[in-house]
Structure 1
Amino acid sequence: MSDPVPQRAEIVVDLAAVRHNVRILKDLVSVDGPVQLMTVVKADGYGHGMVEVAAAARDAGADWLGVATIDEALALRAAGDEGPLLCWLSAPGDDFAAAVRAGVEVTAYSVAELDEIAAAGPARVQLKVDTGLSRGGAARADWESLFAAAAAHEEAGRVRVTGVFSHLAASDEPDHPANDQQEQSFRDALALAERAGLAPDVTHLANSAATLLRPSSHFDLVRCGIASYGLDPAPGTSPRIGLRPAMTVRARLVLSKEVAAGDGVSYGHTWVAPQDTTVGLVPAGYAEGIPRAAGNTASAWVADSLRPVRGRVCMDQLVVDLQGELLPPGTEVVLFGPGDRGEPTAQDWAEAVGTISYEIVTRVGGRLVRRHVDSEGTTR
């Protein structure tokens, strides 16, 4: 990146990349006809900044925004968002009335939850059915009672059922038998909903991976989370459609020093120098969300080269092998970014520590400063 190296460490999010990704995804599903696109911005925009990412997604044509909680939805409304907005995770006693007043669409998993929403109505409600993930959503045995209760509330004017949806368990594995089973199960649910007299505006099943890999699951709307941030929801399987990672995590060296052969590095001496070398100190650690498991597995980009992380990642800092160079304090360190210069990506870090890119980008934070830039022209 051409802007100045941070004083210590920061997250840089390119909103132009978010817009680019949303446009690509919207174009991809438009070939199916009038399929709408939801950009999922829960968990503070997967660590990218919920409010800023939401605005960028709307600019790029996202029809909907999706969040987990009512609090997240209300924060978007407070920031000025006025478009279609769905939240899908609530607990008994949540403030459904505030969501209703703000024009937020809420989700019911059960008759009891639907009754609670209806008491705060008139509300715009979507119904979630469990088609095989065995997580949130009405169990199959409860579909008919949920749909009947929704129809009764709708007839009484307490709710308007605007959607029916579900979530896939294995969409990143296109040959997994659960995909066919869940899609058929969802179609069964829609038939039951229609039989109960419901006529939702949208039905939706596809997440990012299914958006890329399973056109039959697109229905009226697709929900794209991780792909909106430029990360691959099914590494090694997804087609290359030009998504661009939006997040860069970078810092600068605090110091570099010589280490002799046989010297141990960091707690527990889990890495011992096999020969004379040099190391650099990076002021970011697991308090900033850098995985402790990255010790001796991940690499950073320093002075146009990959530099392995040596020894355990500490709470506030980590050590990289400078491989004989004594680089000056202030030298830029890129932990991960788009990969344009050869730097590691969030996917590289995920593979290094045995997780997924979702976890890498959502967990970074702590004392890191997050800054939004726009490679098309502006910074804020």
Structure 2
Amino acid sequence: LRTGLAPGPHELTVEADMAYSRTGEGMHRFTDPADGETYLYTQLFLDDARRVFAAFDQPDLKAHFDLTVTAPPHWTVLANGTTTHHGDGRWTAATTPLISPYLVAVAAGPWHTVRTDHRGLPFGIHCRRSLAPHLDADATELLSTTTALFDRYHEKFDEPYPFDSYDQAFVPEFNAGAMENPGLVTFRDSYVFRSAVTDAERCSRAVTIAHEMAHMWFGDLVTLTWWDDIWLNESFAEYMGYQTVAEATRWTHVWTDFAAGRKDWGYDADQRPTTHPVAPDPEAVPDTASALLNFDGISYAKGAAALRQLTAWLGEKDFLAGINRHFTRHRFGNATLADFLDNLASATDRDVHTWAAAWLRTSGVDTLTAHAT
């Protein structure tokens, strides 16, 4: 192929006007009926970065991102890194480490914010102004839960938190539960409770916070190479979220909740005609549309149950040794299931690959039959 390009680096500049979204794909725009204020935020998962900016939109094509945002003067702009206001509504965000395009995040608007510092990093929680009293009422629980989980992950993982700040934005009309954008996790704002709720709902919110925080390491620091391994992102965060909530918060019973409710989601999905292995073959996921079909109880609940079983079989010490080797070897890079298994195998005498073939590459529930003599 003759391109006519001279050797060396080249710069491509793309100028584009992109439409705002009302579906939660790309740059979502919302006007609050309570006070008329407008808010914008990105949701770029799986392949929606193209709705906001030009990019080679694959998880294995990581880059450093520099963002400049111009917004109305009374707005605040949040991003993956700390942001600086230069006046006249012009903001710049700190250059990101190497991240995938689907993890780039911006949230802009007249946010109501509660901040604290922890372990030398700024932590913030944000919501639209009309929800300010409700966020303030829950701020102590939200921030204490977040920092307790943060500390517990640092006890588990050798790699320190890899970004320069930790913001959690509760955004309107979100089309998912939450999204693990590095340094700027977005949640649906129904997690800002506006009336009395059960303790189970508070526990569920804590699990979601822990799930997204686990992604900072497994998903953001080390990212899947292609979408056939999306189960590993989600199964790991699901397992680690429940485990860390049980260890670091007052909801020590949370594995009972998993067994009684969440795990049933996996059993149900695994008995349908549409069941699939926890870890599908790459050939079964040729594109992002195919990958979306695997976002179900198998990828989340069954995979988390399998990882919990694996941890019990290996012992938590060896499991975490393998995980930490995985993070160190692939930090700010990409990895596959084979890489994950090899790193686990290097920390144990157990036959991890045979375990994976039996538990991750097959579909359907196991059948136990009693033989009486």
Give TM-score scaled by structure 1 length: 0.27
- Which structure dedicates a bigger proportion of its chain to helix? 2
Higher RCO by CA contacts (8 Å cutoff, separation 6 or greater): 1
Give TM-score scaled by structure 2 length: 0.27
Of structures 1 and 2, the larger Rg is shown by 1
- Which structure dedicates a bigger proportion of its chain to strand? 1
